[in-house]
Amino acid sequence: MRHALLAGLAATMLGACSAQARPADDDVAEAPARAVVETIAPGTLATRIAAGEPIQLIDVRTPEEFAQGHLAGAINIPLGEFDPEALPDPRGSERILYCRSDRRSGIAAERLAAASGMAALHLDGGILAWEASDFPVERD
């Protein structure tokens, strides 16, 4: 009885789905493209920095965490103060965000992507992955 009831419910739902009229492709308004959030591996970032590529590093951790160790040249804008509209001009540099593990930088990257309509990039695994790869950090 239970199987028959479930089978009947499933058939009804499938029939309702397929019975819905679908507009022709020409009638469908294109949804705005959603800006994506991407990650960059520590090794790739290190290679790009070593090659002298123009990169604006933004550390979204607290000032205390930043003082304990950060990537050379990074600026500190804690997540709680992160406003994509108020970021310093990257002057042709690509922005790359990072934090401790990549959770906070992922949130900041989502905000940046939504505000800019462009892809936003953050460090995969954060500074923990950077240090685990034996890349240098500066300490205040």
Active-site residues: which are they? 99
Is the CB of residue 98 less than 8 Å from the CB of residue 122? yes
- 69's CB contacts (< 8 A; 6+ apart) are 127, 131, 137, 138, 139
Tokens 């406003």 belong to residue:
83
